[in-house]
Amino acid sequence: MRIVLLGAPGSGKGTQSQRLMQQEHIPQISTGDLLRAAVAGGTELGRKAREAMDGGRLVADELVLGLIRERLAEPDTRRGFILDGFPRNLAQAQALDRLLATLRQPLDAVVQLEVDYGELVRRISGRRTCADCGRVFNVSTASAEVSQSAPCAQSGAPHRLIQRPDDNEATVTERLRVYEEQTRPLIEFYRARGLLRVIDAEGRVEEVTQRLEQALHASAGRRAARTAAASSRKPRSPGRSTPSRKGASRRTTSSASGSKRKPSVRTTRTPDKNEPARRAPGKTRTGSRRSARRERP
Ligand SMILES: [Zn+2]
């Protein structure tokens, strides 16, 4: 099963990839890991990647695609893979599509993990990283308290939790805006190809994994674009033990998510319309976005 997981920062993509990898016995292919390994290994692609990174540039898509191509030649990917960190925009999705077609390893499903905007902000702002061992905890969840209390594997003392600069609230808002702007169009791209499944990614980790498995296995065997396109609009398994609010939002995921996300996009793209008089001319876009967000109920 060849899968791409899509989800905003904080949607739990990393956690779910890990769990899926174990359950489906397929490798997770992280482009970040591939890049780091290539640079460390000093391969030709690795040297080019290092040049780009040292120069403060983004690593070119062709280079990342080259790494993915190399990785997919390894035997453990025959059963499938979970692609993580790529594609992040439409151009990358199209390039990936061409590569996978050439390799005759087309995607089976693209699963979008849907999480409410406010919840995303809460989750990322709650992230703390241990300065000694690098483990990531979340102060906004109860289960974190239990795991935090175990001694640090590195220091033997309690974990030393710090908040990474990336996870402070201003940066989170900016990361979500970038996701919104660049990654959202992918959803339509994959929907049009009949590959998209949307799942409610709020709630307990185990529940989300269960929904993920259901979405994947429901799609296996019926790949016809028509069926798939229809199924992405109407999930086959209506709410298990989820509260009715969530069940309702899941039933109309595409339209609900559209309207749910709109405020952040709208305040980003046309901030002037929202508060024409109050904005000082020199104010940064980030500033206006943050204040707009705070004003929302
Ligand atoms: Zn630690």
Give, as residue ranges, everything with CB less than 5 Å from ion ligand 1. Answer: 130, 132-133, 152, 159
- Does residue 27 register a pLDDT over 90? yes
* Amino acid (one-letter) located at 66: G
What Cα–Cα distance (Å) separates residue 236 from each residue in 192, 214, 215, 216? 19, 9, 8, 11
Q: Residue 270 and residue 53: Cα distance in Å, rounded?
A: 33
pLDDT score at 96: 96
Q: How confident is the model at residue 147 (pLDDT cuts 50, 70, 90)?
A: low
Q: How remote is the CA of residue 209 from the centroid of ligand 1, in Å? A: 26
Helix (H, G, I), strand (E, B) or coil at 22: helix
Q: pLDDT tens digit string along 150-204? A: 888 889 999 899 998 878 878 888 888 988 898 889 999 999 999 999 999 998 8
Q: How confident is the model at residue 274 (pLDDT cuts 50, 70, 90)?
A: very low
Which of 26-35, 49-58, 93-102, 125-134 ranks highest by mean pLDDT? 93-102
Active site residues: 13, 88, 127, 164, 175
Q: pLDDT tens digit string along 204-228? A: 899 999 999 999 987 665 554 444 4
Q: How remote is the CA of residue 163 from the centroid of ligand 1, in Å? A: 13
Q: How remote is the CA of residue 8 from the centroid of ligand 1, in Å? A: 26
Q: How remote is the CA of residue 33 from the centroid of ligand 1, in Å? A: 21
Q: Residue 176 and residue 70: Cα distance in Å, rounded?
A: 31
Q: How remote is the CA of residue 150 from the centroid of ligand 1, in Å? A: 9
Question: Does residue 113 contact residue 209 with C-beta atoms inside 8 Å?
Answer: no
Between strands 109-114 and 81-84, the pairing is unpaired
pTM of the model: 0.66
Q: How confident is the model at residue 258 (pLDDT cuts 50, 70, 90)?
A: very low
pLDDT greater at residue 275 or residue 67: 67
